């Protein structure tokens, strides 16, 4: 077998391994873009960059003086296409946006596929380690660090007997929760009045205690507390 073919197979095998390793981490955490998605993204990026590496074999007999190959333009095209795929995994649920980390991991996987396609194996291996450390170890660091936890809060009451905003403010303060970006809505033909806001606290258990309190309040018709995630 031609050594060129062996190199192509080696590049693709390494890209499948690299994409699969990163994708497994996403699959383990229940993300829709997981093992297969990341594997295909990395392998496709490598395959396209192989067109640049082996362009002489693609057009045998043609004078290379007439051909100008710019690997950066191929890389730019790949990353532009990956932008559309990354946007597809970002979802907005009311006040919560999910999928940003998965979109970033897809972008990183594409970049790894590009450098594997060009034969920069050390850079690819280093990037895999960086990606896995960021997705796993940094997740633990985020949980340990005393940082704010955010959630979207929605509360609906009957418009004939709405919960005063001052009472809602005191309720959040009692649970050591701050509320920002409050919006107000009338629904069901003016029968239901709804508060929507972003809430934050340094203790994620405060959301559970707030839910227990809201569940026991007579004037609360419906409510939802949706923590933000990656």
The DSSP code sequence of the chain is: --HHHHHHHHHHHHHHHHHHHHHHHHHHTT-SS-HHHHHHHHHHHHHHHHHHHTHHHHSTTS-GGG----HHHHHHHHHHHHHHHHHHT-EEETTEEE-HHHHHHHHHHHHHHHHHHTT-HHHHHHHHHHHHIIIIIHHHHHHHS---EEEEEEEEEETTSPPPHHHHHHHHHHTT-EEEEEEEEEETTTTEEEEEEEEEES-THHHHHHHHHHHT-TTEEEEEEEE---
What is the pLDDT at residue 60?
A: 55
CB-count burial class (<10 Å; 0-12, 13-18, 19+) for 132: middle
The pTM of this model reads 0.61
Pairing of strands 96-98, 192-201: unpaired
**Chunked in runs of 10, what are the mean pLDDT values of the chain (230 residues)?**
74 87 80 78 84 64 57 77 77 67 85 86 86 81 73 86 85 88 83 87 85 87 79
The pLDDT of residue 64: 54
The confidence score (pLDDT) of residue 59 equals 56
Cα(32)–Cα(27) distance, rounded to whole angstroms?
Answer: 7
The predicted pLDDT at position 69 comes to 63
Q: Kindly report the backbone phi and psi dihedral angles of residue 156, in degrees, each rounded to the nearest multiple of 5, phi listed first.
A: -120, 140
């Amino acid at each position: 077998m031609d050594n060129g073919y062996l190199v192509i197979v080696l590049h693709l095998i390494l890209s499948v391994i690299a994409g699969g390793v990163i994708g497994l981490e996403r699959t383990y955490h229940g993300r829709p873009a997981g093992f297969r998605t990341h594997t295909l993204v990395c392998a496709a990026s490598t395959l396209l960059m192989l067109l640049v590496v082996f362009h002489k074999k693609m057009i045998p007999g043609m004078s290379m003086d007439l051909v100008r190959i710019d690997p950066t333009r191929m890389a730019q095209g790949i990353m532009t296409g990956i932008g559309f795929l990354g946007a597809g995994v970002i979802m907005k649920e009311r006040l919560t946006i999910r999928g940003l980390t998965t979109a970033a991991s897809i972008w990183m996987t594409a970049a790894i596929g590009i450098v594997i396609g060009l034969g920069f194996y050390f850079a690819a291996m280093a990037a895999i380690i960086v990606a896995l450390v960021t997705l796993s170890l940094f997740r633990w660091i985020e949980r340990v660090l005393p940082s704010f936890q955010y959630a979207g809060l929605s509360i609906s009451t009957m418009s004939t007997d709405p919960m005063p905003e001052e009472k809602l403010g005191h309720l959040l303060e009692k649970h050591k929760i701050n509320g920002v970006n409050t919006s107000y809505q009338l629904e069901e033909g003016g029968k239901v009045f709804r508060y929507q806001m972003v809430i934050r606290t340094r203790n994620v258990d405060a959301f559970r205690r707030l839910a227990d309190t809201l569940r026991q309040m007579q004037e609360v018709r419906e409510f939802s507390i949706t923590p933000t995630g990656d």
